[in-house]
Amino acid sequence: MRTRCPFLMLGLAVAGLWAAEPPARAADAKAASRARRLARAINGELATLHLSRQAPNDLISRRAWTNLLDSCDGDRMVFTAEDVAGFARAHDVLDDALRLGDFAFAYQVRDLFRARLRERTAFATNLLAQGSFDFSGHGTYAYERSKADWPPAGAARDALWTARIRGEVLDEWLDCETGGVARAASVVAKSYADMLAAELKRKPAETCDDFIVSVVSAYDAHTAYLPPDDFETFRQQMDLTLCGIGAEWMKKDGALKVKRVMPGGPLAKDGHIHVGDVILGVAPKGGDEIVRISETADSDLVSLFRGEKGTKITLEVKHVNGEIKRYTLVRDDVPMDDDAASSQVVTADVGGTPRPLGYLRLPSFYSTLEGESAENARSCADDLRAELEKLKKRGVAGVLFDLRDNNGGSLSDAVKVVGLFVRQGPAVRILTADGETTLPVPDGAVACEVPVVVLTSRGSASAGELVPATLQDLGRAVVAGDDRTFGKGTAQSVCPLENRGGGLVVTDARFYRVTGGSTQFKGVEPDILLPSLTEDEVFKGERGLSYPLPWDELAPAAFTPSWDLTRFVPELRTASEARRAKNPAWQKHLQLVKDSAALIQRTEMPLNRDARKAQFDRDEAVTDELDRQEEEGFNPLARDKDLVLDEGLNILADLVRLNDGRTLPAAKPLTSADSGLFDGIDDD
């Protein structure tokens, strides 16, 4: 924070750079007043709650400045280098602006973005109307520009846009089977018109939210402000409650393509709308007043579908066969059992003898947030205990614990989950602003005494990598999976804001393996490498996010290993590698993994049709497989369709054979007592 009077500093900035607030915004006095109060409250909460115990300062301001520009123009194509240079005088004042609840700079950035987007839309429309595209050359287009410099105004910028538009037309042409280049050009032109229309519909309150998000997220990769709709979604994910229509979608070409129909929800019960159908419009209150998806800002989409239980909603849908119809549904609670802990028993060959093995799946460390109603409260630790009891009654000889793509959740539940497999000892080391502590596993909580193999992936994050790390360090389980997990070694607390202001998710602790090293940035390495097909969001992990905290370590906790299962790792690894080397399906899988990594890391595309078509076909094979995996989920009863799961069961069968019927040993005395108690850090 600067030592000069912030009022004077901001006043000078407004006079030299920022535009006055438009009359239309001044008329929205109630919303503006609410936003100012919210900004001031958040400023105070950050200074109190964040691990650094610092209010926003000049470093945060400079990061927030970048975040704010990127929130408008993440591809760095719309603003000019000259525009950005003009914004530079605000580098060090956005921390003060949050404290004062002053959104003038955010308005000015958004207004200029809107003006530039009008210009660029006109440029794109004119170019597309000419209809003259040659795709026989050898040029390329750099479409990944999130780290690039903004282009200077003039010919160089126009050339960049021309290449971009050509690339979009070529992609659309290859994506559709009929209509040729002319149709592709019209689709791209409409997408630009829709983009501008959605921008012009944005409310001033959204600009305020963008500004707050930009400042809050400048602290670290996981501190965030969640506006009311986003916070409600977060709350529902944590306690597995949902009221709506029961669908997951992706936005494409100004519509919503249905990716999943959730069993037991209104959409599934109605039966008319299926995966692949496209939602063109919504009447949030039922009836005929349809709101077009193409004209709706992304930030408003969720609110179209959300509503009170028992209220009506009408959907205009284009079916896969091209038929367009309207359906009126009634919002209702949507069962989310697919996202809860689950188990199966699989019969496998263990040393020539059929034996039952347990498969345990946990998609997230869900838990009802503190302060929520106890009615219908959920805890993943309680649910896992129940599933393990089922497996025990079936006499399973070992358990495959699938934590692939588990992106974390409740840290307190993660500690309890470790206790389901370990009799005593430390579960995790914690560092807060108040110092270090060690959280022990709960006494007498063990629910599984047989050998365990844990499956991980690059999408396993936070608690989803802490649990396998602890079980690995304690010799309790063998870990198999991707070359590393996500690398999130921080814990967050959730702070609901008053008057439906949304909520803060604030990093207030770092956690460490019982051996002392952090999972932060580095993630968890497996004992046995089983590469998975990976989506873009998780490929780089923590190191691909903005402002990640660095790796560090604490002194190790005092502990005695609970078992010695990791001594079997060399033999298990050798047997697994030999199996996979002889399996043609694994060789195909490894090629898809390689192609997936190439797709994610690619930053340019060819503007030659033949070259792009060949690339398109390779990419489509990867995306089709990812879509198939997402739709089919994890199913041990169809293990031929999930090679990682199948090999995980093979490794478990080998481990059971090598372990020769032993179960978890009795507890041994620790060298010294564990220190510290769990003190209210609820979510990571």
Name residue 421's amino acid. Answer: F
pLDDT category at 572 given cuts 50, 70, 90 is very high
Is pLDDT of 571 > 70? Answer: yes
Question: CA-CA distance, 37 to 212, in Å (whole number)?
Answer: 12
Estimate to the nearest angstrom the gap between the alpha carbon of 221 and the chain centroid. Answer: 12
Encode pLDDT of 511-527 as tens digits.
999 999 999 999 999 99
pLDDT at 332: 83
Q: What DSSP string runs through 188-217?
A: HHHHHHHHHHHHHT--HHHHHHHHHHHHHT
Is pLDDT of 23 > 80? Answer: no
Per-residue pLDDT, averaged over 85-104, amounts to 96
Q: Are 1 and 57 in contact (CB under 8 A)?
A: yes
Q: Answer yes or no: same fold for 242-333 and 337-568+642-659.
A: no
Encode pLDDT of 622-639 as tens digits.
888 888 887 787 888 889
| Exposure string for 117-142, b = 16+ CB within 10 A, e = fewer | beebbebbbebbeeeebebeeeebbe
Encode pLDDT of 240-290 as tens digits.
656 678 887 777 767 888 877 877 788 888 899 988 889 999 998 887 789
Q: Which of 341, 362, 370 is nearest to 407 (CA)?
A: 362
Q: Which of 493, 470, 488, 485 is nearest to 549 (CA)?
A: 488
Question: CA-CA distance, 175 to 128, in Å (whole number)?
Answer: 18
pLDDT category at 377 given cuts 50, 70, 90 is confident
Report the percent of the chain where pLDDT is more than 90: 66
* Mean pLDDT computed over every residue of the chain: 88
pLDDT category at 28 given cuts 50, 70, 90 is low
Question: CA-CA distance, 109 to 53, in Å (whole number)?
Answer: 30
Sign of the Cα pseudo-torsion (523, 368, 400, 560, in order):
positive
Supply the DSSP symbol for 429: E
Is pLDDT of 225 > 70? Answer: yes
Question: CA-CA distance, 154 to 80, in Å (whole number)?
Answer: 9
Question: CA-CA distance, 189 to 460, in Å (whole number)?
Answer: 39
Q: Is residue 494 classed as helix, strand or coil in its secondary structure?
A: strand
Question: CA-CA distance, 149 to 162, in Å (whole number)?
Answer: 17
Encode pLDDT of 348-361 as tens digits.
999 999 999 999 99
Is pLDDT of 304 > 70? Answer: yes
Instruction: Collect contacts of 349-352 with beta carbons under 8 A, ≥24 apart.
Output: 349/653, 350/397, 350/653, 350/656, 350/657, 351/657
Phi, psi of 530 (to 5 degrees): -130, 90
Q: Which of 45, 52, 67, 58 is nearest to 97 (CA)?
A: 58
Question: CA-CA distance, 109 to 65, in Å (whole number)?
Answer: 10
Give the fold, CATH level 3, of 337-568+642-659.
2-enoyl-CoA Hydratase; Chain A, domain 1 (3.90.226)
pLDDT at 13: 29
Name residue 549's amino acid. Answer: L
Longest dimension (CA), the chain: 82
Question: CA-CA distance, 597 to 540, in Å (whole number)?
Answer: 10
Encode pLDDT of 187-209 as tens digits.
999 999 989 998 998 889 899 99
Q: Is residue 620 classed as helix, strand or coil in its secondary structure?
A: helix
Encode pLDDT of 609-626 as tens digits.
999 999 988 898 888 888
Burial of 91 (C-beta count, 10 Å sphere; 0-12/13-18/19+):
middle
pLDDT at 637: 86
Q: Under CATH, to which class is 242-333 assigned?
A: mainly beta
Question: CA-CA distance, 414 to 465, in Å (whole number)?
Answer: 10
Phi, psi of 225 (to 5 degrees): -100, 130
Domain extent listing, the chain = 6-219, 242-333, 337-568+642-659
Q: Are 597 and 620 in contact (CB under 8 A)?
A: no
Q: Which of 343, 335, 356, 441 is nearest to 385 (CA)?
A: 343
Q: Is residue 581 classed as helix, strand or coil in its secondary structure?
A: helix
